[in-house]
A and B are shown apart, each in its own frame.
Chain A
Amino acid sequence: MQDVVVLGVGQSEFGKFPERGIAELGGAAARTAIADAGIDPGDLQAAFSSRVYEAMITSQTILKDLGVTGIEMVNVENACAGGSTAVRSLYKDIAAGYVDVGIAIGVESMTTSPVAGKLIPPDKDDLDGQMGLSMPVLFALQAKRLMETHGAKEEDFAQVSVKAHEFGALNPKAQYRKRFTVEEVLGSRMVADPITLLQCCPNTDGAAAVVLASADFARKYTEKPVRITGSSLISGDYDFKRADLTTMPLGVKAATSAYEQAGIGPEDVDVVELHDAFATEELVHYEDLGLCPRGESVGLLRSGATSLGGRVPVNPSGGLLSLGHPLAASGVRIICELTDQLRGRAGDRQVPGAKVGLAQMLGGAATGLDAGAASVHILTV
């Protein structure tokens, strides 16, 4: 196994850009990542790209405009975890020694997708989907259990969103760049109680890209490499195996595996980026990632530990709630944010002295499974 490092990162503008195609969105991110890495586009030996909606040869569509042709290009899909899947796929190829340097891209045009402005459903033939299940509904029902078993209040869920927007207001790339109060979050339109509109990620068009390389290759480009010390991707397990809706066993498995690989525990993590498509789910991920003991996520949130200036800030980018969520881009984008944090170049939202970052992503719903996929990456300097 070769050590794998993040050599360069790039993110397009995030927002509503129906006039920008996949090549334009993805190209902006890929160009930035390649320039950040300091390599020539011709150095790239492999590309993995991810897109959920209307995907076809995404890598080729983006990279042909950058002069990159005639290499191995793979296009993957894993719902919101697709970007993480692209990163991990490239990571594995470099770790195994097949290639020395490559690019992973996530891109989505949500405003031109079939789900623009809608509640994101499972596959069209899915039983629960036909009966009215959608992502916000699933998380609203989980939130109802958190209120029963964890003593979570509507104000707690709103606070997750307030926290995200406090961070997002500091991120020039964020879609919202605006602070909200708990009252404003609770007073926004109800989507599926207790989840209000400001507790849902917006529809976002955008892309993110990372250049990964073997530690050997990276040596001549950087003296301060950001290493990927843990990488996991786990598919969902049968829902009947969990007695409790307030945990997602696949997320626990993904975290446990990544911690083991990195040889660290949750107490060693300085900064986290995770899937907060809906504010309520952040509490579940706190526990599944081991950031606090089981049952204590509400206390962790209320303590301020995960907020700006806290012990382990969660989603300093603004998260999906404030930065935005172009589905397949998010799994790559969280690697970009953590790399910037570990390099100490995250600007006003910098977590001081961050040395270990954890990137988590969750994707998809299907009848009978706890979720589609969960992925965790651990980055270390």
Chain B
Amino acid sequence: MTTSTTSTPFREGLFRDGSDGPTLLAGRCTSCGRVSFPVPDMCLQCRGQDIDAVELGGDAELLCATTVHMPNRHFPPGHAVGFVVLPQGVRIFTQLRPVDAKPFRSGMPMKLEIAPLWREDDTDVLAYRFVPA
């Protein structure tokens, strides 16, 4: 038996993976301009109610990274995580995928990848992670 090939995003509205590459989906407040990820119900800076949908793209800069040597939620020992900063100044926590065992360093350019990160009920769960660009 082969495993199922069905896949599902782990939450709706977080990212889009199109032919032009993956992007995180965010919201921009029409009053103060603050960009937030994920899309907020209201602006958390000025409490403005009008939020425009914006795409953050897939480029980011690494702020810091660590390798976790214990199992954590869906992730086995040895997984890497960190904070990345997107060009609009949005800082997010994310899984990281190392490439060629190259050490992560602050300031490293990173790019977004949408990938199956774990399985639930015979379904691949799609989520975001960043890899060195």
- Where the two chains meet, the residues of A that have a C-beta atom closer than 8 Å to any C-beta of B are 118-119, 121, 127-134, 136-137, 140-141, 144-145, 148, 189-194, 238-240, 245, 367-368
Given contacts A132-B72, A134-B72, A141-B64, 14 further A-B contacts (CB under 8 A): A121-B72, A128-B93, A130-B73, A131-B127, A132-B95, A137-B68, A140-B66, A145-B63, A191-B70, A194-B66, A240-B44, A245-B83, A367-B93, A368-B44
Query: Which single residue of chain A is at the shortest CB-CB distance from B94?
Result: A131
Q: Taking beta carbons and an 8 Å cutoff, which residues of B are in contact with A?
A: 10-11, 34, 36, 38, 44-45, 63-70, 72-75, 79, 81-83, 90-91, 93-95, 106, 127
Residues A119 and B81 in contact, CB atoms below 8 Å apart: no
- Is the CB–CB distance between A192 and B66 below 8 Å? yes
Residue with the highest number of chain A CB atoms closer than 10 Å, among B11, B66, B67, B72:
B66
CB distance from A304 to the nearest CB of B (A): 29
In the complex with contacts A127-B11, A148-B64, A132-B70 CB distance below 8 A: no
Residue from the set A129, A130, A132, A133 with the largest chain B CB neighbour count within 10 Å: A132
B67:A193 contact, CB within 8 angstroms: yes
Contacting pair B67 A137 (CB below 8 A) = no
A-B contact count (CB 8 A): 81
Partner of B10, one of A130, A145, A191: A130
Query: Which residues in B have their C-beta under 8 angstroms from that of A194?
Result: 66
Residue of B nearest to A134 (CB): B72
Q: Smallest CB–CB gap between A22 and chain B, Å?
A: 27
Docked complex Cα distance between A131 and B66 (Å): 14
Quick one: which of B38, B67, B69, B106 has the most chain A CB within 10 A?
Answer: B69
Q: Say whether, besides A132-B79, A144-B64, A145-B64, A239 and B70 are in contact (CB < 8 Å).
A: no
Instruction: Determine if B91 and A240 form an interchain contact, defined as CB atoms under 8 angstroms apart.
Output: yes
Closest-CB distance, B103 to chain A (whole angstroms):
11
Q: How far is the CA of A194 from the CA of B90 in the complex (A)?
A: 25
Q: How far does the Cβ of B37 sit from chain A's closest Cβ, in whole Å? A: 10
Chain B hits for A121, CB < 8 A? 72-73
17 A–B contacts, CB within 8 A, in A order = A118-B70, A119-B70, A127-B38, A128-B93, A131-B95, A132-B81, A133-B81, A133-B93, A134-B68, A137-B66, A137-B81, A141-B82, A148-B64, A190-B69, A191-B70, A192-B68, A239-B91
